[in-house]
């Protein structure tokens, strides 16, 4: 009697220790099989039952079953403990520090020309000007003829025109919009026209495509003083309240009197654009009576303004698509 019972107690104690020592789930599975498997120690005890005297068989059989249940329960518990430990370890290893700064995706920037153009448009909108669009391929009439450029007059050469088939040109300036916007409209009106223009010109400060913005205002009693006042307000908005302007008498076929204007930037005069009172003949060409209505107009390079603002030395840098240029002024 003492034999098998003591064996079972020892077996149980041994199983308990072995299961507790199992350090991983596979190891535990192996240990469990060592005691409960078909060739395991407990099966050995059960197989030996037949050799016991009948009065002991039932008792030892029951004890063996209890031992089996106990080992199974211990194995289950140990398995759960191991699995939990594993989950804890995995969580600790893959801990996510949500306080770490995130990796910012690269930020896009507006092109310097776009930035200046938007700033310019916003300024003129605040003065009540509306934006007028015009085509980049236009008739010779809108780009030259109606603007008082005589046929075959050398004035046309000053603009290094790209001619297109069918009597059209790539517009050489945004002044073509004056004709389109004024024809068929009754003053007063105030417009700006930003956009691309084209001239056959290529060196570090010239590019065959560049941007201009044109402003024109037609009303009764518009004078050169209004033109200067508007240009001063515009320049000071862009370059600061102390900005100085200089007007140099000049010739444009579509304005009279005409001037070129420069602004003082840091330590020198920079050429900014052209301006003048809209020529009476241009008003007449658009069906406006110059005895009653007068207007001023001016136009300047947007790219030049961006280059001056950010000290960009070469106009080509603006159009070669190098994102670093855009980032630096972003």
Binding region for ligand PHE (CB under 6 A): 173, 175, 214, 252, 255, 273-276, 297-299
Q: How far is the CB of 310 from ligand PHE (least distance, A)?
A: 23
Structure tokens at 327: 């980032």
Reduced to 3 states (helix: H, G, I; strand: E, B; else coil), residue 293 is coil
Q: Which is nearer to ligand PHE, 195 or 299 (CB)?
A: 299
Q: Which is nearer to ligand PHE, 198 or 239 (CB)?
A: 198
CA separation (Å) from 308 to 29, 243, 281, 312, 315? 79, 13, 35, 7, 11
* 280 upstream amide cis, omega within 30 of 0: no
Q: How far is the CB of 221 from ligand PHE (least distance, A)?
A: 19
Structure tokens at 147: 């603007």
Q: Which is nearer to ligand PHE, 214 or 308 (CB)?
A: 214
Q: Describe the strand order of the beta sheet including 137-139 as a list of residue ranges.
A: 137-139, 168-170, 163-164
Phi, psi of 214 (to 5 degrees): -115, 140
List CB contacts of 111: < 8 A, sequence separation 6 or more: 318, 326
Picking from 214, 208, 240, 234, the residue whose alpha carbon sits closest to that of residue 309 is: 240
Q: Which is nearer to ligand PHE, 112 or 276 (CB)?
A: 276
Report the alpha-carbon distance of residue 330 to residue 326 in Å, rounded.
6
Q: Which is nearer to ligand PHE, 175 or 285 (CB)?
A: 175
Report the alpha-carbon distance of residue 65 to residue 126 in Å, rounded.
95
Q: Which is nearer to ligand PHE, 40 or 117 (CB)?
A: 117
Q: Can you say how many angstroms the Cα of residue 57 is from the centroid of all Cα atoms in its chain?
A: 85
């Amino acid at each position: 009697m003492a034999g098998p019972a003591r064996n079972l107690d020892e077996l149980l104690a041994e199983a308990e220790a072995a299961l507790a020592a199992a350090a991983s789930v596979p190891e535990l599975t192996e240990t469990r099989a060592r005691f409960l498997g078909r060739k395991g120690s407990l099966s050995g005890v059960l197989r030996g039952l037949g050799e016991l005297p009948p009065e002991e068989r039932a008792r030892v059989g029951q004890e063996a079953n209890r031992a089996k249940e106990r080992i199974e329960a211990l194995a289950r518990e140990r398995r759960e403990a191991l699995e939990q430990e594993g989950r804890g370890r995995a969580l600790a290893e893959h801990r996510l520090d949500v306080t770490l700064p995130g990796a910012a995706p690269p930020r896009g920037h507006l092109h310097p020309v776009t930035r200046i153009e938007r700033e310019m448009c916003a300024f003129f909108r605040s003065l009540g000007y509306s934006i007028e669009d015009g085509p980049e391929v236009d008739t010779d009439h809108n780009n030259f003829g109606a603007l008082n450029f005589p046929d075959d007059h050398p004035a046309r050469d000053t603009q290094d025109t790209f001619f297109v088939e069918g009597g059209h040109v790539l517009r050489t300036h945004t002044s073509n919009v004056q004709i389109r916007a004024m024809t068929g409209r009754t003053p007063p009106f105030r417009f700006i026209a930003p956009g691309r223009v084209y001239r056959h010109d290529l060196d570090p400060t010239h590019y065959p495509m560049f941007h201009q913005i044109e402003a024109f205002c037609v009303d009764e009693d518009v004078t050169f003083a209004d033109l200067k006042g508007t240009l001063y307000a515009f320049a000071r908005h862009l370059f600061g309240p102390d900005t100085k302007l200089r007007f140099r008498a000049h010739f444009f076929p579509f304005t009279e009197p005409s001037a070129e204007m420069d602004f003082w930037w840091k330590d020198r005069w920079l050429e900014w654009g052209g301006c003048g009172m809209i020529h009476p003949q241009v008003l007449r060409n658009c069906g406006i009576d110059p005895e009653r209505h007068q207007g001023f107009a001016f136009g300047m390079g947007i790219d030049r303004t961006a280059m001056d603002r950010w000290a960009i030395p070469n106009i080509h840098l603006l159009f070669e698509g190098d994102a670093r240029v855009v980032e630096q002024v972003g």
